[in-house]
Structure 1
Amino acid sequence: MKTQRGMSRADLLALPVSFDLETAGRACGIGRTLAYDMAKRGEFPVRVLRLGKAYRVTRADLLRYLGEADDVMAAA
């Protein structure tokens, strides 16, 4: 079942430890262009790591922002 975020819970939990900004934007319901604009301004809703020219987001930060982190930790 897809959520408002654009990704199902199973999709979110299957994400690697870190991933690109476009994927994080999709999970948050933010388009690619806006996600990059927000990251450049320091306004993306999840912590963004800058590695050279690449933007990366961690699964833990994304799940915490989306309120899924507690569910994952309880299931572990």
Structure 2
Amino acid sequence: MLAITDLGQLTAQARADSSPPPPSCASLHALGVTTDLLTAARILRVGRTKAYQLAKSGDFPVPATRIGRHYVVAVAHITELLGLDEKHSS
């Protein structure tokens, strides 16, 4: 039987095991030219509240443009940030 000596270590391991795999270039391109802020935040592993705070202050990891009450993010900026840009990978 496994002895639990550090609950924090166990919790961190559980989070690491349950994290989704990083997105592929093809899955990002399937989003189209732009995506909404929450989709971009999920890809970049930023929480919802933090994403809106960063977008409002202009500090979101990629440029986010406010259109009316919504933010949009160019998928090209996300692929470039993640190093999945096809122009730079060849």
Cross-structure match for 2:31? 15
Cross-structure match for 2:71? 55
5+ residue gaps in structure 2?
Answer: 1-19
CA distance in 2, matches of 1:50, 1:62: 17
Which amino acid in 1 is paired with 2:21? K
5+ residue gaps in structure 1?
Answer: none
On the 8 A contact 1:24/1:57 being kept in 2, the answer is yes
CA apart distance, 1:73 = 3.2
Worse-matched range after superposition: 27-36 or 10-19: 10-19
Alignment of 1:1-76 (within 5 A): 2-3=21-22, 8-9=23-24, 10-69=26-85, 72-73=86-87
SS of the aligned residue for 2:35 comes to strand
Let me know the Cα RMSD of the aligned residues. 1.9
**TM-score w.r.t. length of structure 1:** 0.78
Please list every run of at least 4 consecutive aligned residues from structure 1 whose deviation after the TM superposition is greater than 6 angstroms.
Answer: none
Q: Give per-residue Cα distances to partners, 1:10-38, cap 9 Å, x unaligned.
A: 42232111110000001101011110111
Which amino acid in 1 is paired with 2:45? G
SS of the aligned residue for 1:55 comes to strand
